[in-house]
Copies of this chain bind each other. A is one copy, B any other.
């Protein structure tokens, strides 16, 4: 059957849009476009109109594939979570695996800074949210934690991961707004501001803040993330029934 749909067009023939056909939209295309805008220009740049523009159409066209902006954000979030790789669960090494999982999430959130803003307070119903949930919940339960407590621990760990990522994304937004382009430059300016501000505080009301300014700004985002993560992991370990 020459010309059948199953036979691909020869590669040397330039693909062209059938003149009759309308734009070829799809949910996947919309999600990928949204994510591209999010990564390149940040949360505030992501609008339905902007996505539509990128796809050479009007905003109304998107609503055939996505019920609202909120749904688009959820889809983008789950799309990003698909980049998280999980190992085979090994309950005897639960702490190590939970740490690796957290660092893996941290890495993915760093690559897609602003996606965290779409994450909080959603019921995790996306394919990949469920994957994460099954992994951490199962790990804690199989390691011996009562399910009711495992649920609390999982919930708080997730909140920490997303909260930290969210804070990071706000810093990115500020960096963009201030016109700086390198994180270094932003970070230094940020630190300089803090130092100057705290040094000028009245010493009698804020003795500790004033006397230990240098320590106050010690530690970058990675240090802070890791410190908090270890606090939580140690707390969980202390509650894990002894084997």
Taking Cβ atoms with an 8 Å cutoff, the residues of A that contact B are 120-121, 123, 125, 130, 133-134, 137-138, 141-142, 146-153, 155-156, 159-160, 162-164, 166-167, 170-171, 174, 190, 193-194, 197, 201, 205-209, 212, 215-219, 223-224, 227-228, 230-236, 238-239
Contacts and interface: CB of A to CB of B under 8 A. Distances in A.
Nearest to A138: B208
Closest 7 pairs between A and B when the two form their complex, measured CB to CB:
A163-B163, A231-B235, A121-B170, A147-B215, A156-B228, A138-B208, A147-B212
A79 B223 CA distance: 31
Contact of A219 (B152, B163, B223, B224): B152
Contacts of A152: 218-219, 223-224, 227-228
Given A120-B163, A163-B164, A231-B232, 12 more contacts: A121-B170, A121-B171, A125-B197, A130-B206, A134-B207, A148-B218, A149-B227, A151-B219, A152-B224, A163-B163, A228-B232, A231-B236
Given A197-B123, A228-B156, A232-B231, A218 B133 contact: no
Contacts of A232: 228, 231-232, 235
A150 B230 contact: no
A239 B232 CA distance: 12
20 contacts: A120-B170, A123-B193, A130-B206, A130-B209, A134-B206, A134-B208, A134-B209, A146-B215, A147-B216, A148-B218, A152-B224, A156-B224, A159-B167, A160-B160, A162-B163, A166-B166, A228-B232, A231-B232, A231-B236, A234-B235
A152 B212 CA distance: 13
Copies held by the complex = 2
A218 B151 contact: yes
B170 A209 contact: no
Given A121-B170, A170-B121, A137 B212 contact: yes
Contact of A208 (B137, B170, B208, B223): B137
Contacts of A236: 231
A47 B72 CA distance: 24
A94 to B, nearest CB: 13
A207 to B, nearest CB: 7
Contacts of A164: 159, 163
Given A152-B227, A156-B228, A160-B163, A121 B218 contact: no
